[in-house]
Amino acid sequence: MMDPVTLDPVDRGLVHALQIDGRAPLRTIATVIGVSENTVARRYQRLRSAGVLRVVGTVNGARLGYTAWTLRLQCTPDAASAVAAALADRQDTSWVYLLSGGTEISCNTQARSVGERDTLLLSKLPRTRRVASVTAHSILRATALPSSWQGLHWLSEDQVAQLMPEPHAQDDTPITLDPGDTVLLEALSRDGRTGYAELATLTGWSDSTVKRRMDHLRRGGVLSYMLDIPPSALGFGAEARLWMRVKPSELVATAEELARHPEVSFAAVTTGPTNLITAVNCRDNADLYRYLTERVSALDAVRDMETAPVIRTVKRAGAVLPV
């Protein structure tokens, strides 16, 4: 359970810094923010211990040949929490939410193979009697990701420039994971700031090998770092998922326009009866109402839309959240 914490300007600067570079040295963050390294370390440990934030290593499955899906499940009233927990326990899922009246679940998954996809979508979920229906949308292209959500922004342009990681050429060489990589990525999914020495112990590699392999996976677009923080900690008390049916000729332009909305933390073009999904974060229900009736309604290409408020977050980018 997340302890109630009020974020002050130093905390907000730390949060934004970790969004920019999840493994940035605390000394560097302190210099940019203008406080001592001890202050930043204390603030980080406080927020981490309170369950407010953590940095997680995330895998871009597309670089490994995986396919990304977003799922909607309708469950019997007594089963949704248990089904959501079971989905969250899977290593291939993220962003698991209970929606609406607590009978609907939304989650994302990455299928490593056609067989793995079919096992989940055609066998495991449909055979669960407490799951009334499953709708699966293949994610074709994301135009907004939580790692760049504007709700985390706080620092000035000059401060952001000081924290940006060194640019590097994208290495498009095909990447195959070995058992050591799997151990490494699992550890980083729990804590993306795990030290090299601990990672070396877990993988059986040397510190230098761990660092070299992490750099290789990051250059190859497989590994990235995401700040995992509940929007409510930043004052956004109303989360919702939107499924839209958009005029095909204006689908890309609409997806890109939504990605520029500060309320939107995720937007993607998908297959299925609706072809665009977004995640939005608003201050409260009144703010959500204004967003839907003023911002979204102004998009003429949106033919219809379903809205589902988030009731409970079971899992975000990393490991299962404590309840």
Pick the closest to residue 12 from 206, 260, 20 (CA basis). Answer: 20
Helix, strand counts (H, E) of the chain = 11, 10
Q: Residue 6 has what pLDDT?
A: 85
Q: Residue 121 has what pLDDT?
A: 67
What mean pLDDT is predicted for residues 297-311?
96
What mean pLDDT is predicted for residues 107-128?
74
pLDDT digits (tens, 9 = 90+) for 169-198: 666 777 888 889 999 999 999 999 999 999
What mean pLDDT is predicted for residues 204-221?
93
- Is 274 inside any structural domain? yes
Query: Which tops the pLDDT comparison, 238 or 323?
Result: 238
pLDDT above 80 for 2: no
Q: Which two tokens stand for residue 299?
A: 């998009």
- Is 276 inside any structural domain? yes
pLDDT digits (tens, 9 = 90+) for 3-33: 567 899 999 999 999 999 999 999 999 999 9
Which residues 6+ apart lie within 8 Å of 250 measured at CB? 300, 301
Helix (H, G, I), strand (E, B) or coil at 67: strand
Helices (H), 119-260: 157-163, 179-190, 196-203, 207-219, 251-259
- Is 267 inside any structural domain? yes
Residues paired with residue 97 on neighbouring β-strands, in sequence order: 106, 313
Residues paired with residue 139 on neighbouring β-strands, in sequence order: 270
pLDDT above 80 for 242: yes
Q: Residue 102 has what pLDDT?
A: 85
What mean pLDDT is predicted for residues 144-155?
95
pLDDT digits (tens, 9 = 90+) for 91-105: 889 999 999 888 999
Distance between CA atoms of residues 228 and 96, nearest Å: 13
Number of folded domains in the chain?
1
Q: Residue 322 has what pLDDT?
A: 44
- Is 295 inside any structural domain? yes
Q: How confident is the model at residue 126 (pLDDT cuts 50, 70, 90)?
A: low
- Is 50 inside any structural domain? no
How many CB atoms sit inside 10 A of residue 141's CB?
12
- Is 99 inside any structural domain? no
Here the CATH number for the domain that contains residue 287 is: 3.30.70.920
- Is 292 inside any structural domain? yes
Q: Residue 323 has what pLDDT?
A: 39
Domain that holds residue 275: 143-147+235-310
What mean pLDDT is predicted for residues 46-74?
92
- Is 242 inside any structural domain? yes
Portion of the chain with pLDDT greater than 70, in percent: 93
- Round the average pLDDT of the chain to a whole number and report it: 91
